Structure 1
Amino acid sequence: EQAYRPNTAILDTTLYDSNGGAVQITDVAPRYEYFGRMFTPMMLLRRISPLSGTPRIRIRLRPARDYGARACKTTHGSNHVTYAAADTTLRLTTDAPLTHVIDENAFLLDRPLHLILGPDETIPESCEDAYHTHYRATRSYWQKWSRGLSIPFEWQEAVIRAAITLKLCTFEDTGAVVAALTTSIPEAADSGRTWDYRFCWLRDSYFVVQALNRLGATVTMERYLAYIMNIAAEAGEHELRPLYGVSGHSSTEEQIITSLSGYQGMGPVRRGNQAAEQVQHDVYGAVVLSVTQSFFDKRLIRSGTLAEFRKLEALGDWARQKYDKPDAGLWEYRGRQRVHTFSSIMCWAACDRLAKIAAKLGETKRADYWRKQAMKIREHVLEKAWDAQQQSFTESFGRPEMDASLLMMHDLGFIAADDPRYVSTVECIGKHLLQNKHMFRYISADDFGEPENAFNICTFWYIDALARIGRTDEARDLFENMLSLRNPLGLLSEDIDPYSGALWGNFPQTYSMAGIINAAVRLSRSWEEAL
């Protein structure tokens, strides 16, 4: 049994044995303000407490280096064990019997034990006192952070858990937002679709920032703004990559890790992601969209500046040049390029928001310039992406395939929700891509064959689109169904088997968790209406 402590990221796990014994394991990753800065040490704390009976436990800790290929060198002191690798050394400080820890012996748990895994540094207090100090401060931080969220009336617990999860996927030091915390969990069984998601996708990060902004948690946007501006400055006159490391570097070479067999033996396990080498033109819109609110939100301590607008204009220049050029698309096709409609719309979004920012800053001439660029792109997309036979916009110019990303056309501001072209596009996508209440990204074969599982964020996009065109009851039904398929902790992965409900893909997926927030905000009754 597992459960988070309410409104925190502190996890309780209860284990039972066949003789009536039970133990509770509480895991804490410290996070709180300390000396005016956020304290997030590379540290994991665990408390193991007996609950009933006479439980016996075995503590097994085996850090390895080079992705499990080589063991660490182990030494120990009076109350700690060190694990030395080539570039780092970990220390386990504990009040558990050290002999049993080192030898991995089973022993009787007759009192609470504490384990602190972190840097090779001395802890200047007892293990128990250190645990409680970090525990209380971390619990207080999360409860205070959660209390500051502007949540919808309905589905509050789901929204709070999703928001906390998104916060956990941000790298405090630089402001980067990773797509997921895992690598190489396959999108479907034995599919070979195993990817490393421990990077910051500029597109995914926009959805995270947008979702947290809707809850009033704007600090993530402020930190991400700094991250983005550093990337833009480093890129200079070069094109942006689709993804970057949390430090902002673009070196993400993809490699196969042969020392690991993969999730349930389903490899390969990958380190790095080849998508970083792709051309994806939607990135320019993603960046501008991510930071637009910072130029308008009066709550922020630091608003967007004219100098930052100038840097964003450089990205706009790329958008106006690339909107009608082929790319790999947001689904990162490895074997082909087309002029993808979503990428073109995101280029429009970059120019459209730059016009709005320029007007806000009093840059009238620049506002007119970007407004004209946006109008030009919009007219082109409306002409080239429309399929008169299907009465729908399609995946790419001159092609008949459906693509779930087109559900976002209204959310991005490109087209009105009551525009017949948008309504018929939503209906066409539902007809072709929805299976058993779950939305596929596309159904045509790609580099790995036809997709087997649905893509969770696409279902949330469909939910949002249904609500916008007035089919609210259907949207609420689909949303409730998605909530019922989360794991017991309220989390979602990237993909789902539309018939068994089994979760697949990297976990937890920020796309999916942002989808929960956006759908709840869209569908919930207002507080005024409910009370």
Structure 2
Amino acid sequence: MADPVSSLALWPIGNCQVSALVDGEAGFVWGCVPRVDGDPVFCALLGGDRQQEGAWRFRLAGQIKATAAYRRNTPILVTRLEAEDGSAVDIVDFCPRFERSGRMFRPVAFARIVRPVAGSPRLEMELVPMRDYGAEVAPTTRGTNHIRYLIGNQPLRLTTDAPVGYVMEGHAFRVEQDLHFFLGPDEPFTGNVEQVLRGMEEATDLYWRSWSRGLATPMDWQDAVIRAAITLKLCQHEETGAIVAALTTSIPEAPDSGRNWDYRFCWIRDAYYTVQALNRLGALDVLEKYLAYLRNIVDRAAGGQIQPLYSVMGVTELDESVAESLAGYRGMGPVRKGNAAWTQVQHDAYGQIVLPTVQGFFDQRLFRMADERDFESLESVGEVAWKMHDQPDAGLWEFRTRQLVHTYSAVMSWAACDRLGNVAARIGRRDRVKVWNDRAAKIRATIEREAWSEEQGHYGAAFGHPHLDASLLQMVELRFIRAGDPRFQSTFAAIEKALRRGEHMLRYDSEDDFGQPETAFNICTFWLIEALHLCGRSDEARALFETMLAHRTPSGLLSEDLDFDNGELWGNFPQTYSLVGIINCAGLLSRSWDTVR
């Protein structure tokens, strides 16, 4: 019924509990239950040639065209399917999300509405959910108006007013009125499916338009910013507040590279950048829930020790294995579940715990402001940052076979101590102000002594090593150094010469565990854009930003990596890092609203 999924031109839908990636022809090709890190019941994206399995597709008899678009300021997707005889239908896809009975209704459910719009369309539907990471097709049982799919401990029920026999057997049938499909928990569906789904559609539409309306967007590039913000919110598991790095696993960073990782977890680093970007837009709901997640992480941290990533439920052990039944994106395995990076030592995580949490002591808009008890818990994290600031780690790029004292990690440790000094002053703890300011000063002195190379004339990526990586550009963002400082200027010049590839940026250009990097890392290109602007090259920055926006998928999104030769997207999708770059650069480069007032 469909060709193998061969690109990342996908459209996420979701409700902060579950999500699905939909291809340009209204096919669900990726989606997990009961949450983002669960069993992928829709796994065609990673199924290689097994495209009839792990997908939910609609197709018209004689179909010749499909056109997808989001409803404005929502993640509700409408795909028009058109046939050669002029008939057409609209497929409306969403995951319900709205307030009901005093709380947010966000079930483990996917809703689809088929609306005839022209002629006499004949429709075929194919729904083949899988279980156990593609190991087998989910067994089914049939009811009068529903089909039950046995998927582990999370059986699903499809409730519909379409002919169930046609649906089960995959026969084409004429669509003469709206058809409604609700794939959700295996429990009786209460109410008329047509009326209930129409109500859910309207309420979900209103929720997202209202949420988007509250964003403090820049004047320019509003569509890009709003779409990035909505998608970042979809990457939050609202039950706990965790934010995942991406909705997928094992999309390779480059063709046949073996750089296939499971990103359906909460990296402290990625989540820090996500809440920072959304906070700049005023999306405090995401920040508040994430701060609650962090408080739980800190409470459970033995001796203040923080690992780089956790599950969305805060689980620490994320053992890595291979899903043998899935061939991988375009057949490029392995498909991994779990991520061994949880065992790594990455000292930048301490700063990335402290920095977002600090806002809770200053921002009076928050429902729950932080207090002295929170400060005392946060100090335990700061203590580890202080102790580890000059110790080797795997770094933010998560090298698996070598450790160095990475400058970025040391700067993050400095930032943790510096900001704790600010908090101590805020709550009147003068004794602790001196402690944290003194520690910040000592870390700064160490960085200047160990990371700066007089011979090379720039900061190095690691103490005593002159090699470069793009993370050094974050020294300005972290307020360690001013953009106009000659040391930053010379470091930026060296980075640009070593790592820039035309309109794109590498993370680093030295060999790692898998050899030489083959693709650009999108967030690093956005860091380049920020640095260009801060160094007075704003016209160049704007032109480069427009180029990056042109690389987005039709859904307005980006993955993690990009082939700097042909512009093809690689890596997990949608990547929160990359969407953060869109928001931050738009805010930095946009004209003021005063220009139109």
One of 392, 397, 406 as aligned partner of 1:326: 392
Choose the corresponding residue for 1:281, options 328, 343, 347. 347
Name 2:176's counterpart in structure 1. Answer: 110
**CA distance in 2 between partners of 1:500 and 1:115 (Å):** 40
Indicate the percent of aligned positions where both proteins have the same amino acid.
Answer: 54
Partner residue, 1:176 = 242
Question: Contact conserved, 2:304 with 2:384, CA < 8 A, in 1?
Answer: no
Rounded to whole Å, the distance in 2 between the matches of 1:12 and 1:423 is: 48
Distance in 2 separating the partners of 1:432 and 1:51: 55
Shift of 1:118: 0.3
Q: Can you give the 5+ residue segments of structure 1 that lack an aligned partner in the other structure? A: none
Q: Quick check: 1:88 aligned with 2:154?
A: yes
What does the per-residue CA deviation read over 1:262-284, in whole Å, with 9 as the maximum and x for residues that have no partner?
Answer: 00100000000010110000000
**Of residues 115, 125, 132 in structure 2, which corresponds to 1:49?**
115
Match 2:503 to one of 437, 456, 480: 437
Provide the rounded CA distance (Å) in 2 between the counterparts of 1:31 and 1:365.
47
1:17 partnered with 2:73: no
2-side partners of 1:501 and 1:13: how far apart? 26
> 1:450 aligned to 2:516?
yes
Kindly provide the amino acid, as one letter, of the partner of residue 320 in structure 2.
E
Unaligned runs of 5+ in 2: 1-66
Kindly provide the CA deviation profile for residues 26-84 of structure 1, in whole angstroms up to 9, marking residues without a partner as x.
10111111222221111100011223333322111111210110222211111000011
Q: Which one of the candidate residues 426, 440, 463 is aligned to 1:374?
A: 440
1:168-220 deviation line (CA, Å, top 9, x unaligned): 00011000000000000000111111000000000000000100110011121
SS state at 1:291 partner:
helix
- 1:235-272 Cα offsets, whole Å, 9 max, x none, are 13152110000001112100011000000100000000
CA distance in 2, matches of 1:52, 1:231: 54
Instruction: Give me the whole-angstrom Cα distance separating, in 2, the residues matched to 1:71 and 1:170.
Output: 29
Letter aligned with residue 95 of structure 2: A
- For the Cα contact (< 8 Å) 1:436–1:499, is it kept in 2? no
Rounded Cα–Cα distance in structure 2 between residues aligned with 1:84 and 1:242: 35
Asked if residue 150 in structure 1 is aligned to residue 205 in structure 2, the reply is no
Q: Which moved more, 1:386-395 or 1:317-326?
A: 386-395
Distance in 2 (CA, whole Å) between partners of 1:462 and 1:87 is 46
Residue 362 of structure 1 corresponds to which residue in structure 2? 428
Q: Distance in 2 between matches of 1:5 and 1:94?
A: 23
CA contact 2:246–2:572 (8 Å) conserved in 1:
yes
Partner SS for 1:92: strand
**Secondary structure in structure 2 of the residue aligned to 1:59:** strand
The one-letter amino acid paired with 1:158 is A
1:219-368 aligned within 5 A: 219-237=285-303, 239-368=305-434
Using the alignment, how far apart are the partners of 1:103 and 1:287 within structure 2?
A: 52
Question: Which of 239, 253, 259 lines up with 1:187 in the alignment?
Answer: 253
Q: Residue 421 of structure 1: SS of its match in structure 2?
A: helix
- Output the CA distance in 2 between the equivalents of 1:516 and 1:51: 36
Q: Does 1:521 align with 2:573?
A: no
Which residue type is aligned with residue 462 of structure 1?
L
Q: Verify the 8 A CA contact 2:304 2:383 in the aligned structure 1.
A: no
For the residue of structure 1 that corresponds to 2:419, the secondary structure is: helix
The answer to whether the 8 A contact 2:132-2:152 is kept is no
What's the CA shift string for 1:73-107, capped at 9, x where partnerless? 21111100001133121000011110011111122
Q: Whole-Å Cα distance in 1 between the matches of residues 301 and 368 of structure 2?
A: 24
The DSSP-based 3-state class of the residue aligned with 1:525 is coil
Q: Does 1:39 align with 2:105?
A: yes
User: In structure 2, how many angstroms separate the alpha carbons of the residues matched to 1:4 and 1:146?
Assistant: 14
Aligned equivalent of 1:412: 478
Is 1:221–1:291's contact at 8 Å kept on the other side of the alignment? Answer: no
Shift of 1:130: 1.4
AA aligned to 1:35 is: S
Q: 1:504 — aligned with what?
A: 570
Deviations 1:479-505 (A, max 9, x none): 111111100110110001112111110
Pick the aligned partner of 1:28 from 91, 94, 111.
94
Matched, 1:427 2:493: yes
Q: Spell out the pairing of 1:55-74 with structure 2 (5 A cutoff).
A: 55-74=121-140
**2:73 maps to which residue?**
7
Instruction: Give the Cα–Cα distance (whole angstroms) in 2 for the partners of residues 20 and 110 of structure 1.
Output: 15
Give the letter aligned to residue 26 of structure 1. V
Residue 132 of structure 1 pairs with residue 132 of structure 2: no
Deviations 1:439-488 (CA, angstroms, capped at 9, x unpaired):
11011111111111000000111111111121111111111111111001
Please give the per-residue CA displacement for 1:143-186, whole angstroms capped at 9, x wherever unaligned: 11111111111111111111101110001100000000000000
Q: Which one is further off, 264-273 or 56-65?
A: 56-65
Q: TM-score when scaled to structure 2?
A: 0.88
Residue identity opposite 1:278 in structure 2: Q
Instruction: State the 1:111 CA deviation.
Output: 2.2
Matched AA of 1:161: R
Task: For 1:182-221, list aligned pairs within 5 A.
Answer: 182-221=248-287
Q: Deviations over 1:360-394 (max 9, x none)?
A: 01111101110010110011111111122332111
Q: Distance in 1 between matches of 2:414 and 2:105?
A: 40
Equivalent residues, number = 531
In structure 2, C-alpha distance between the alignment counterparts of 1:424 and 1:25, rounded to whole Å = 54
- Stretch moving more, 46-55 or 338-347: 46-55
**Secondary structure of 1:333's aligned partner:** coil
Measured in 2, the distance between the counterparts of 1:394 and 1:216 equals 35
Query: Would you say the 8 A contact 2:304–2:380 is kept in 1?
Result: no
Q: Distance in 1 between matches of 2:237 and 2:112?
A: 22
Q: Which residue of 1 aligns with 2:29?
A: none
**In the alignment, what sits opposite 1:386?**
452
Q: 1:382 to 1:441 in 2, by over 3 A?
A: same
Deviations 1:108-139 (A, max 9, x none): 22222111000012122121111111111111
Residue 187 of structure 2: aligned partner: 121
Which residue of structure 1 aligns with residue 532 of structure 2? Answer: 466
* SS of structure 1 residue aligned to 2:303: coil
Q: Distance in 2 between matches of 1:507 and 1:21?
A: 33
